[in-house]
Chain A
């Protein structure tokens, strides 16, 4: 049991060690901030503090992703691994837009 516990602990520590470099909030059907500048390899945590679900996605070439719908209190992370401008939207609420500039 002890090695398993240690392994689990290590896994948890590793997960928290991959803490996001940046946090983008979703509140009042808006992203905050609406513009972000990061470096290649940085991780951004998208957090939902609205009472309604949001579905963050991007179809931009440097980083295409679809985080699916998630509700208040939940968050999901994206690591940006190529340089360029990534336009991010909420699929449900298209008024929610932001951009991430990923620099080398």
Chain B
């Protein structure tokens, strides 16, 4: 009788205990993120799938990615004969072993002159909808053609791309490869740029521990990295995903981060030169964060030596606040949250095999 009389109470107590155990879990695992979506921080959860990238980067109708085009572009990417001087190539500033950047705070051009900005990574650039730190190229093809002409990038100048094209056009291996990749199309700056773009679209990172965790592998991230992800997407935490948005960790947008360099005389105004709108003075494109651990130093001016310094900068809310992005504000993040953010960003690296450099046609 006693047992029977107490059974409802026991059940109620058990239910209450269970609910109490569950309630905090639900409450703490769900976050309304910077995009306004309710996200449940659990491996494989449906609300996280927006962070996954398509298997291949999209390509334009007149330059659909094919293996022949990628192979040709890979050779051209590493070939200095494409440059006006014959002494620099795309790989001068975009090295596969340096996260497709170059490891310098600001790139070093031919003859040792320092350029004005850091070399942006090429990882996942094919998924981006606008190219270069200031967005002056709407497409990869436009950027590649520009790069061949730019004095800084390929040390060419107005006449030099012609030299590069002529150089390539005299090499039988390239002429044959072009015919296979772009049958019936002339070998010129436009098709050279197409081939290089096809190769760049193949530089993809989408199988990092984070990606595997999003797909459902609960062991792919450490507890600290999961904590870092929470901080990353929480508007009241790091608020990082307001700009480093899904799926490619970029909003393809432009922001003034309040870096010290913006306070210097005649600072680099970035996007403002392309679009003279007040907010864009000193604004630069949000880079992807996939493989970010491989491409130090950071920011367009290379002013952060490591990811810890990047996080510390954001915690301050920016040092030069005369034209800050509206997304910037000081962050109340303690040492553990800061460390967790760095740990999370380190979980965005896709393990890669040793990169095999191409054999260039003689």
CB pair A51–B35 under 8 Å, yes or no, is yes
Q: Enumerate chain A residues within 8 angstroms of B326, measured Cβ to Cβ.
A: 53, 55, 69, 71, 92
A3 within 8 A of B: no
Q: Main SS of chain B's interface residues?
A: loop
Closest to A58 in B: B277
Interface residue tally of chain B, by bracket?
A: 20 to 34
CB pair B34–A94 under 8 Å, yes or no, is no
With beta carbons under 8 angstroms apart, the residue of A29, A71, A94 that contacts B254 is A94
B242 within 8 A of A: yes
Q: What's the Cα separation between A10 and B61 when bound, in Å?
A: 58
B335 within 8 A of A: no
Q: Enumerate chain A residues within 8 angstroms of B277, measured Cβ to Cβ.
A: 55, 57, 59, 66, 91
B288 within 8 A of A: no
- 1/0 per residue, CB under 8 A from A, across B225-259: the answer is 00000000001000000100000000111110000
A76 within 8 A of B: no
Q: What's the Cα separation between A57 and B283 when bound, in Å?
A: 16
- 1/0 per residue, CB under 8 A from B, across A47-60: the answer is 00011110101010
Q: Are A93 and B253 CB-contacts (below 8 A) given A51-B36, A52-B327, A69-B326?
A: yes
Give chain B nearest CB distance to A25 CB in angstroms.
14
A21 within 8 A of B: no
Interface residue tally of chain A, by bracket?
A: 10 to 19
B198 within 8 A of A: no
A33 within 8 A of B: no
Q: Enumerate chain A residues within 8 angstroms of B36, measured Cβ to Cβ.
A: 50-51
With beta carbons under 8 angstroms apart, the residue of A51, A57, A66, A92 that contacts B255 is A92
CB pair B278–A92 under 8 Å, yes or no, is no
CB pair A59–B251 under 8 Å, yes or no, is no
CB pair B135–A92 under 8 Å, yes or no, is no
Q: Are A68 and B279 CB-contacts (below 8 A) given A52-B327, A94-B130, A95-B252?
A: yes
Q: What's the Cα separation between A14 and B130 when bound, in Å?
A: 43
B139 within 8 A of A: no
B275 within 8 A of A: yes
Give chain B nearest CB distance to A96 CB in angstroms.
9
Q: Enumerate chain B residues within 8 angstroms of A59, measured Cβ to Cβ.
A: 275-277
Q: Enumerate chain A residues within 8 angstroms of B130, measured Cβ to Cβ.
A: 94-95
Q: What's the Cα separation between A54 and B35 when bound, in Å?
A: 13
CB pair B275–A93 under 8 Å, yes or no, is no
Q: Which 8 A-B pairs have the closest CB atoms?
A: A53-B326, A51-B36, A69-B326, A91-B277, A93-B253, A92-B253, A57-B277, A55-B279
Seed contacts A52-B327, A92-B253, A95-B129; 11 additional CB < 8 Å A-B pairs: A51-B35, A51-B235, A53-B327, A55-B326, A57-B275, A59-B276, A89-B275, A91-B280, A92-B279, A94-B135, A94-B275
7 contacts between A and B (CB under 8 A): A51-B34, A51-B235, A53-B326, A57-B277, A92-B283, A92-B325, A92-B326
Identify the B interface with A (CB < 8 A). Answer: 34-36, 129-130, 135, 235, 242, 251-255, 271, 275-280, 283, 325-327
